[in-house]
Chains A and B, each alone.
Chain A
Amino acid sequence: MEERRHGTKRIDQVVGGGSIVMGVVLTVASWRLGLGVWREPGPGAWPFLLSLALTLFGSWLFFRPDPSVTVAAKLEPRWGRLVLALLSMVGYVVSMVPLGYLVSMFLLLLVQLRWVEGRRWGGSALAGLLSAIISFIVFGLWLKVPLPAGIIPIRAG
Chain B
Amino acid sequence: MTLIAEYGTILLVLACLFGFFMAWGVGANDVANAMGTSVGSRALTIKQAILIAMVFEFLGAYLAGGSVTQTIRSGIVDPSMISPEQMIFGMLASLLAAGTWLLLASIRGWPVSTTHTIIGAVIGFAAVGVSVDSVKWLGVVPIVSSWVISPFLAGSIAFMIFLSVHKLILDTDDPFANAKRYIPMYMFAVGFIIALMTLTKGLKHVGLHFTDLQSFGLSVLSGLLVTVLGVLLMSRIKDEPSGKSHLHGVERVFAILMIFTACAMAFAHGSNDVANAVGPLAAIVGVLQSGTIHAQSTVPGWVLLVGAVGIVVGLATYGYRVIATIGRHITELTPSRGFAAELAAASTVVAASGIGLPVSTTHTLVGAILGVGMARGIAALNLKVIGTIFTSWVVTLPAGAILSIIYFFIFQGIFG
Are A and B genuine complex partners?
Answer: no
Q: Interface of A with B (CB < 8 Å)?
A: none
Query: B residues near A, CB below 8 A?
Result: none
